[in-house]
Structure 1
Amino acid sequence: MTASAEQSAPQGKRWYVVVTHVNQERMAQYQLKQQGFEVYLPMVPPPPGARVRNGIAPANRPMIPRYLFVSIDLDQERWRALFSTMGVTEVIMRGTGEAARPNPIPSKFIEEIQAREVNGLVVLKHGDRQAEAALAASLPSKYRRGDKLRYTGPTADYEMIFEEMVDGNRAAVLFKLLGRDSRQIIPLPSGT
């Protein structure tokens, strides 16, 4: 089967990744559902130790910020409507030009996330050292615990110590702020 015949072969419903604007995952989810799409936005509870600020309790948050998943049949549904949906910035694609189509992800990925849900929230087991080590090993990183990093920007110049990867592009780091160690989660430059 040629590549073009493979792309045009019927595939049935599959899961695809949609990227949203910052903090607009819920709006994009709502808009996509209004158009009749099946949407999955995995949510997690606030981090342990999250504090009430200005009288507002910490809210549940997306498990993977800026990403949600849509199940569609590319041959049956008007999938190009994804691009003009409020809150959506892009759809992860494969191919180029007219042959470009959304790139499917394995349904097993979605099933594994859904299997961890309790009352609509994905439960990530913190403190399970073996699971955390396996997750950290699976995330690509050129940094190791204890490595010194430097953040230089127009308003700051900080030396930080790398602790661990949190997800695919964010890391926990330690740095001195007002004479105290501060642990922060920061985005790392692409290519880490």
Structure 2
Amino acid sequence: MTASAVQTSGLGRAWYVVVTHVHQEKHARYQLEQQGFTVYLPMVPPPVRARARNGVAPGPRPMIPRYLFIEMDLDQDRWRAVFSTMGVTEVIMRGSGEAARPSPIPSRFIEELKKREINGLVVLQHARNDNGKGGSAGPRFKRGDKLRVAGQTADYDVIFEEMVDGDRAAVIFTLLGRDSRQIISLPSED
């Protein structure tokens, strides 16, 4: 990461990664918002094959379990309060001891996720195989094939798992060292 890729202390607001307790992402988001922080918790639709439990249909789920993003200005915001927020276990830091500070991430990453939202849910679309050609996932893809999800500002590598229906496929999306199973739409073979 270059200095121009992220904003650091002294340059204003930047995005940081917060780690939550298991299944506490929404609670942590609420608690941080109550403190006046801008928080982004990317949500995805439930898996296509998810079943209702106790008569309750499955709902949206966090895109990256246990992770959310917070926008702060380290020189102006009370960022140390994040550590004692209910639901939060840690903030991704750089440095050690008294010099340790939250490690910023590129704002274009958050912008790209937000651009992929449809009705408040992140939808990964437009996969192509690793050689850059588009196409359907018929017999061309098999479990374990690497695909690239192309975006306006960034591309993401995913691993093909299986076709779900028609032109949608289940893929494994790795972000911040965590694997997340996502359903994406594949382009037609035009």
Task: Using structure 1 for the length normalisation, give the TM-score.
Answer: 0.67
| Code of the aligned partner of 2:100 | A
Which residue identity is paired with 1:133? L
Match of 1:108 in 2: 108
**What is the CA–CA distance in structure 2 between the aligned matches of 1:8 and 1:50, rounded to whole Å?**
41
- Ranked by relative contact order (alpha carbons within 8 Å, sequence separation 6 or more), the top structure is 2
User: Which amino acid is the alignment partner of residue 134 of structure 1?
Assistant: R
1:75 aligns with 2:75: yes
- What is the deviation of 1:118? 1.1
Instruction: Indicate if the aligned counterparts of 2:64 and 2:180 stay in contact, CA closer than 8 A.
Output: no
Mark the runs of 5 or more structure 1 residues left unpaired by the alignment: 1-6, 146-163, 173-192
2:90 matched to 1:90? yes
* 1:118 equivalenced with 2:132 (yes/no): no
- How far apart are 1:124 and its partner, in Å? 2.1
TM-score normalised by structure 2 residue count: 0.67
**Partner deviation per Cα, 1:115-143 (whole Å, 9 max, x = no partner):** 001111111238x45386125x846x9xx
- Corresponding residue to 1:133 among 139, 144, 147: 147
Contact in 2 for aligned 1:43/1:122 (Cα 8 Å) = yes
Secondary structure at 1:133 match in 2: strand
Post-superposition, which runs of at least 4 consecutive aligned residues in structure 1 deviate over 3 A? 128-132, 168-172
Mapped contact 1:11–1:74 kept (Cα < 8 A):
no
Q: Secondary structure at the match of 1:11?
A: coil
The residue type paired with residue 100 of structure 1 is A
| Change beyond 3 A, Cα 1:88–1:171 | closer
Larger Rg: 1
- What is the Cα deviation at residue 17 of structure 1? 0.3
Identity of counterpart residues, as a percentage?
A: 64
CA distance in structure 2 between the partners assigned to 1:74 and 1:170 by the alignment: 29
Whether the 8 Å CA contact 1:28–1:87 is kept in 2: the answer is: yes
Structure 2 segments unaligned to the other structure (5+ residues): 1-6, 135-145, 150-155, 162-170, 182-190
Whole-angstrom CA distance in 2 between matches of 1:171 and 1:121: 15
Give the aligned partner of residue 55 of structure 1: 55
Structure richer in helix, relative to its length: 1
C-alpha distance 49-8 of structure 1, shift in aligned 2 (>3 A): closer
Q: 1:49: Cα distance to partner? A: 1.8
Q: 2:26 is paired with a residue of what secondary structure? A: helix
Distance, in Å, in 2 between the alignment partners of 1:8 and 1:122 is 27
* Equivalent-residue separation in structure 2 for 1:20 and 1:43 (angstroms): 15
Alignment of 1:158-169 (within 5 A): 165-167=172-174, 168-169=177-178
Partner-residue secondary structure (3-state), 1:12: coil
For the Cα contact (< 8 Å) 2:25–2:62, is it kept in 1?
yes
1:30 corresponds in structure 2 to: 30
Provide the C-alpha distance between the structure 2 equivalents of 1:52 and 1:86, rounded to a whole number of angstroms: 29
